[in-house]
Amino acid sequence: MVGSAVETSPSTPQGPLDIAQLGARGDGKSDSTKFVMQKIVIPPGNYLTGALLLAGPYTSDIIIRLDGNLLGTGDLNAYKTNWIEVMHVNNFAINGHGTIDGQGPLVWMNNQCHKSYNCKILPNSKNVLVEKVTITAPGNSPNTEGIHIGDSTNVTITDTTIATGDDCISIGPGSNKIRVHAVRCGPGHGISVGSLGRYKDEKDVSVTNCSLRGTTNGLRIKSYEDSKSQLKATKFVYDGVTMDNVSYPIIIDQKYCPNNICSKSGNSKVSVTDIVFKNIVGTSATPEAVTLTCANNLPCQGIQMHNVKIKYAGAGNTTMAVCRNVHGKTSGVAKELACL
């Protein structure tokens, strides 16, 4: 059995840095957890591990050279924490030509997040750069977000390709100064803010700028209809996004209630204000290119659409927008989409 989480000591690494020199076997079967946590160069090979916890504070920069492949074990007893978790570390980087493979198909049948509120809350981070990264999962894999951000500040994701079975990028409560640029998404559910209001005491969300290129999925803000927290989703800018036959390109949904796990009270506590969609072009796979469904008791305010040019890819001239309980303005938008 692959062991439980191994924690590194808060000191400067000493000695040889190649885990193969320490005795790790890159055969994809032997447990390499303790070797990975001792040193920070992963040579070519397939190294099977359980939970990896890199916990500081550290007295020096941490740079991991990943030229081999890290494989997550299918033994769930090996995960007392997240598979790979980094805490209290400043100036941390991973580079190289290897892969991080969670081997998701081994455990997908155990995923119940779509049926239950009891899913793990993520740790927080500050000043994070994700650049030139490729993330892949099959389109039918359950609840496989490419990148999920929660309780984090000043996060930049750029020049990255993501293919998943869920959100390519998911932005949760307590996220501020999030920038997404030059991201190619698909398959997947695009870039989503939320779900918001699922738990008590959630914090506000603001997205500084989102500029996706070549995305094949939509832009979505979603909050639970029976939200437990009073918070704001505000000051988002979505600029320069290309849609390619996307089912629902632009969505605000304050009545989100997946699999009927919430009560449909209609009394939202999540306010959605000052959201800008501009320079959004491409095609929709359904006639409903824009869907803005806001709460009766808490309408969306300050929603703007500028130069939004999305057309239904099917036969006929049936492109449409559906707007409920939403206030704002439009410019440079086709008549059928100008519902504000």
| pLDDT of 205 higher than 90 | no
Residues 200, 228 contacting (CB under 8 angstroms): yes
pLDDT > 90 fraction of the chain, expressed in percent and rounded: 38
* CATH architecture observed for domain 117-340: 3 Solenoid (2.160)
Mean pLDDT of the chain: 84
Answer whether 220's CB lies under 8 Å from 258's CB. no
Q: Where along the chain do the CATH 2.160.20.10 domains lie?
A: 1-110, 117-340
Q: If you average pLDDT over each of 37-51, 142-156, 210-224, 300-314, which comes out highest? A: 300-314
How many CA atoms are closer than 13 Å to the CA of 189, on its beta-carbon side? 23
What's the pLDDT tens digit per position in 12-33? 343 446 778 778 888 998 888 7
Q: Which of 31, 67, 148, 166 is catalytic?
A: 166
How many CB atoms are closer than 10 A to CB 43? 18
pLDDT higher for 95 or 119? 95
21, containing H or E segment: helix 19-22
Window from 106-115, 192-201, 232-241 with minimum mean pLDDT: 106-115
**Residue of 31, 167, 189, 226 marked active site:** 189
Counting residues of the chain whose pLDDT is more than 70, the rounded percentage is 88
User: According to CATH, what is the number of the domain 1-110?
Assistant: 2.160.20.10
Tokens of 102: 């969670």
Among the residue ranges 2-11, 35-44, 311-320, the one predicted with the least confidence is 2-11
pLDDT at 287: 93
What confidence tens digit (pLDDT) does each residue in 111-156 have?
666 666 555 555 578 899 999 999 999 888 887 889 999 889 999 9
189 catalytically annotated: yes
Instruction: Tally Cβ neighbours within 10 Å of residue 152.
Output: 21
Q: What angle do CA 102, 83, 34 make, to 5 degrees?
A: 105
Tokens coding 193: 């803010």
166 catalytically annotated: yes
